[in-house]
Chain A
Amino acid sequence: MGESESLAPEELRERLEKGLAAVSSKKVRMVYGNTAKAIRKEGIFTQEYINGVIEEKLSKAIAGALSAEAEPKTEPEKKSPAAKPAPAAPKAPKQKKAEKAGKKTEPAAKKKTAAPKKASAPKKKTAAKKTTAKKKK
């Protein structure tokens, strides 16, 4: 590959990696989605109109992504240490889950305690208690 364009394999690889990074960047994907949405909303599917819209919006984003990734190659490396705290993030949901579980158990306990009251208290009062218990949830 790249022989017909007289490209060295290393350069070709670099270009491919740049392209891959550009294609998988969130910005480009967002712009692509927005342009597709805009074209769909307009309902004009002529080649000229689509080319015009793409040149307006997508070409800038793609050029920007390619140029931005060509200059600072160290950015992904910097991001990787920042990703280390990411494992800490899942811990928080676990705590939340535990809290939720605790909350879930509390109403159950209340119900258990409320059960004998139901027997003694009139029906209207128990109904009111039930509604309040639901609201608390």
Chain B
Amino acid sequence: MSKEEYNPKILGFLCNWCCYAAADAAGVSRYQYPPNLRTIRVMCTGRVDPSFVLRGFVEGADGIFTGG
């Protein structure tokens, strides 16, 4: 598999008050971001449990992004 074809699935846990708001603002101002990032809104990054990350990997995610 060449590097160009590689399209990793990334799971993002975004904080409601900062990162998710930023993503929302980006959407409103019509910026495009890659579709291979699947976002999950959490009310605080402190809500993210280690089990969430491991579960994401088990379910087939190639990377986990935590924004907050």
Contacts and interface: CB of A to CB of B under 8 A. Distances in A.
A19 B62 CA distance: 17
B16 to A, nearest CB: 24
Nearest to B60: A1
Interface string B50-66: 11001101100010000
B51 A17 contact: no
A19 B58 CA distance: 10
Interface of B: 49-51, 54-55, 57-58, 62
7 contacts: A1-B62, A13-B58, A16-B57, A17-B58, A19-B54, A23-B54, A24-B51
Interface of A: 1, 13, 16-17, 19-20, 23-24
